[in-house]
Amino acid sequence: MPDQAIPSLPEDPTLEEIQLFLAPHIAEEAAFDGWSDEALTYAAEAHDIDPATARLAYPDGAMDMIDAWIQSVDALMQAEFTEERLATMKIREKITELVWYRISVVMPLKEALRRAVSLMAQPQNAPRSGRISWRSADLMWRMAGDTATDYNHYTKRTILMGVYSTTLMCFLDDESDEYEDTRAFLERRIENVMQFEKAKAKFLKPREGFDLTRFLGRLRYRAD
């Protein structure tokens, strides 16, 4: 994983600083030992951190480690895509490149990602996994310049969560050169989203003699 946005550890770090610093290094160990205490211990000792202290930084164990790892990917993405860089892109390119960058960051840690996805998919972890996914989707849309505050705010993020998660699953099964199949899959999904947004905008555009609220109300309370 690139190091440019991973914070260095101060001389007397807080637990939060340890959590964010150590998570990418735990991910490197998780490829071999899973998101386990062993992975945490190896990572901590390799960076002169007391393993007992490191455990305090992740009170909920594996999910805390995974959450912090994803936060580190968020930080890398924000460092890579400055406002100036994003300003030169169209919305489709922004979202595509942001998603692709996130995938490129975890490419060397494919097995760690596979194990993380498996843990996040467990029923007891579903609520937190949803919040983590929403956070990343929200960040990508905000970086892309989205300012919607109505229901579009929610639909855009929900759709992007689906695009991102299915692209990750495609990546995990991809054996093509330089993951070109995953890239093609992502671009198709983004194209589908853009077409959906165009159709939605056309449908919701006010038209003379047409009241969307009344129309939806009739669907819900249709007379017998």
Q: Is 61 left (phi over 0), alpha (psi -120 to 50) or beta?
A: left
Three-state secondary structure call for residue 93 = helix
Query: According to the model, what pLDDT value does residue 204 have?
Result: 54
Cβ-based neighbour number of residue 135 at 10 Å:
15
Query: According to the model, what pLDDT value does residue 214 have?
Result: 57
pLDDT tens column, 7-47 = 678 888 999 999 999 999 999 999 999 999 999 999 999 99
Domain residue ranges in the chain: 15-205
- Residue 63 above 70 pLDDT? yes
pLDDT tens column, 160-214 = 999 999 999 999 999 999 999 999 999 999 998 877 666 666 555 655 555 555 5
Fold of 15-205: Tetracycline Repressor; domain 2 (1.10.357)
86 in Cβ contact with 94 (< 8 Å): yes
Residue 205 to residue 212: CA distance in whole angstroms: 9
Burial of 96 (0-12, 13-18, 19+ CB in 10 A): buried
